[in-house]
Amino acid sequence: MPPPTLTGMSPNPGPRAAAVRPAAVVNEDIRALWHDARVGLTDDQRAVYERLLAEWAAAVRADVVPAA
């Protein structure tokens, strides 16, 4: 008799299971974009900045330990 299986479950983990870079590392990338605060970001840099902000927020959430 074959072992039981979970139907509807993907064998591959989704994006939530992906490793999250530490917030400090992502913050360094954000700071590098703003090496001169007097100069605005290009459209491409703005897109990278928005992606990095989302990644930073996910890293901060991942560091939060739920209260007992």
Find the mean pLDDT for residues 23-33: 96
Sign of the Cα torsion 31, 32, 34, 35 reads: positive
Sequence-distant (≥ 6) Cβ neighbours of residue 20 within 8 angstroms: 55, 58, 59, 62
In this structure, the number of other CB atoms found within 10 A of the CB of residue 49 comes to: 15
- What integer pLDDT is reported at residue 4 of this predicted model? 52
Better-predicted residue by pLDDT, 6 or 48: 48
Query: At residue 59, does pLDDT exceed 70?
Result: yes
Cα separation, 33 vs 44, in Å, equals: 11
Q: Which long-range contacts (CB under 8 A, 24 or more apart) does 44-51 make?
A: none
Q: What is the rounded distance in angstroms from the CA atom of residue 56 to the CA atom of residue 62? A: 10
